[in-house]
Amino acid sequence: MVNQHGVPTNGVQGFMKHLFAAIDQNNPTHTLICWDMGSQTFRNELYSGYKAERKAPPEELIPQFDLVKEVAASFGFINVGVPGFEADDCIGTVTVKMAGTGIDTTVLSGDKDLLQLIAPTNDVWILQKGYGNYKQYNEAAFVEEWGITPTQFIDVKALMGDTSDGYPGVRGIGEKTALKLIQQYETIDGILSHVDELKPGQQTKLKEDLEMLRLSRQLAEIHTSVPLEFDIAQCVYRGLLPEAIDVVEQYGLKSLRRDIML
């Protein structure tokens, strides 16, 4: 999808359509968009292999990263991000800051790592295929499906590793085993304090990869104290703004215009 200037816009329009589909279902009072600010974060300093095998984004997407922020801003959305941290860390920080303020939050993402942020005041919606299609989790729904708490999900991730993020966890322990161990022993430390109760093969794997297990947990945990500044009053959702029409026309976002009926 290319506009009248020869600039690809498929990513921009897809992102905005996902955003408005979620707004239609959630009816938020406030909105905030968190972004990665470059590929290098504190996690790369902890582990050089972190996300090292990820392929570069398609060439046509690269010019759209800045464009989508401009388009989102024209619609009145606030964009935030902090160099050295991932968008996930910014999201976690926002949910913690909002807890106790009287504003409940809903996180929208395609990344299951964010399930660890589920709390009484924060739900997580995981994108599924198609627009407006989400798997919606509150605390009760998560516990019912996984048999653990959201915080325990961090330890499950540490044990099983994450091939997408490039950290191995404990080699030979997959999601099923990791989940079973945390359900039984509650935490990584709980597992290690009862290591003699495990199968011989599991004992060996844990002992051989103990250092990586500790590191993997650091990598898996979303930070919730990022030095992120934002004014919640500026995040009030005001609906479709007239000035957004100019940006939609300027960049030839025909599909977006049609879908939101500007």
The predicted structure's pLDDT at residue 90:
98
Contact 176, 146 (CB under 8 A): no
- In this structure, the dihedral spanned by the alpha carbons of residues 218, 222, 228 and 232, taken in order and rounded to 10 degrees, is -160
Of the two residues 244 and 119, the one the predictor is more confident about is 119
- Provide the sign of the torsion angle of the four alpha carbons 131, 133, 139, 145, taken in this order: negative
Cα within 13 Å of Cα(240), Cβ side: 16
End-to-end CA distance of the chain: 20
Burial zone of 213 (CB within 10 Å; 0-12 exposed, 13-18 middle, 19+ buried): buried
Q: How many CB atoms lie within 10 A of CB 14?
A: 16
Nearest CA-CA partner of 68 in 19, 25, 27: 19
Cα distance between residue 52 and residue 164, in whole Å: 9
Cα distance between residue 176 and residue 170, in whole Å: 13
- Is the per-residue pLDDT at 248 higher than 70? yes
Domain range list for the chain: 10-146+222-251, 152-220
| Fold for the domain defined by 10-146+222-251 | Rossmann fold (3.40.50)
With a pLDDT cut of 90, the percent of the chain lying above it is: 82
Please provide the DSSP assignment of the chain as one string. Answer: -B-TTS-B-HHHHHHHHHHHHHHHHH--SB--EE---SS-BHHHHH-TTTTTTPPPPPGGGTTHHHHHHHHHHHTTPPEE--TBS-HHHHHHHHHHHHTTTT--EEEEES-GGGGGG-BTTEEEEEE-SSTT-EEEE-HHHHHHHHSS-TTHHHHHHHHH-BTTTTB--STT--HHHHHHHHHHHSSHHHHHHTGGGS-HHHHHHHHHTHHHHHHHHHHHSPPS-------GGGGB---S-THHHHHHHHTT-HHHHHHHT-
The predicted structure's pLDDT at residue 1:
77
Residues 125-174 pLDDT 10s? 999 998 899 999 999 999 999 999 999 999 999 999 999 999 999 999 99
- Is the per-residue pLDDT at 117 higher than 90? yes
Which of the four CATH numbers 1.10.150.20, 1.10.287.110, 1.10.3370.10, 3.40.50.300 does domain 152-220 have? 1.10.150.20
Whether the pTM exceeds 0.85: the reply is yes
What average pLDDT does the chain have?
94
